[in-house]
Amino acid sequence: MYITAGVPVDGFTYGLITPVLGFLMAMLGSALGLRCTVRGLTAVGRRRSGWLALGAVAIGTGIFVMHFIGMMGFTSPALPISYDATISYAGLAVAILVVGLGVFLVGHHHTSVPALLAGGVITGLGVAGMHYLGMAGMRMDGSLGYDPLIVVLSIAVAVVAATAALWFAVAARSLGAAIGASVIMAIAVNGMHYLGMQALTLHAHAEVVGLGGRAPLETLMPILIGPIVLLLFVGLVVGLDPMTADELNTRSERLGTPGRPPARLPQPQRG
C-alpha cells in the first residue's frame, strides 16, 4: 500500500491475481488481433477489410479488458471509487478505432517500413488513449493528477512495443514468432498501464476521507462482461476459419526473399 496526496491507495488489492490475469487477457486479445491482421494480408477486397476490422476489435477489446482487470486491484480504504460506464465504453470505442487505423495501415501496405512504423505509433497511441480515457471515467469525491514525465514514458513504451509486435506479426513464419508477437503486445499494454498508474496522484476531498471504499469488483464486473464475450466471439470466428493452404502460400510469396522464389506448400493430390 502506498500514499498519494495523503490518501492510502492499494494498486494490488488481490496480489498478483489481477496483473497476471490482465496480462493473459491482453495476450489473448493481441494473439487474436494479430492473427486477424495476418489473415488480412492474404485476403482481398471486403474479406481483407473484414479481417483487419476484426483484428482491431480483438486488440482494442483486449486492451479494455486488461485495463479494467488491473483497476479491480486499485482500491482505497479511505475513499469510495466508482466508474462511469459511458466514458468507460467510450474508451473501448477509441481503442478499437485508433488501433484500427494502425492495423489497416499495416494491412494495406504489408511490410513497408514506413507503414509499420506509422502503424506502431498509431496502435501505441490507441493503447495509451484507452488507458487515460478509462481513468477519466473514475468517479470519486476527489481528483486525479499525473506526473507528465512518467505519462510520456508510458506512451513511449506502448508505441515501441506495439511497433515491435506488428513487425513480428507480419514477418512471423512460425508459431513461436507469432506467440512472441502476442507477448510483446501484451507487454506494451501492461507496461503502459502500470507505468501510467505510477504517474497518478489521488487528491481526495478532506470531508470524505475515511468513509470507506466500494469494492471495485462489484462496479467493474458488469462493465467487463460484454467485452469479454466479444473477445470470446472473435476467438470463435478465428478458430472456425483457419488459414487455408492457398492463403499460407500467398503470405509466403508476399514475405519471400526478393529474387528467390518462396517455397510452396504441398498441394493435396486430386483423385
pLDDT single digits (tens) 41-88: 888 888 899 999 999 999 999 999 999 999 998 887 777 788 999 999
Span between the terminal Cα atoms of the chain, in Å: 69
Q: How do residues 120-173 score in pLDDT, each as one tens digit?
A: 899 889 889 999 999 999 888 778 889 999 999 999 998 998 888 888 777 765
Q: Where are the alpha helices (DSSP H) in 137-215?
A: 148-171, 175-198
Dihedral sign of CA atoms 242, 247, 253, 255 in order: negative
pTM here is 0.82
23 touches 194 (CB < 8 A): no
Phi-psi region of 151 (alpha: psi -120 to 50; beta: other; left: phi over 0): alpha
Residues in the chain: 271
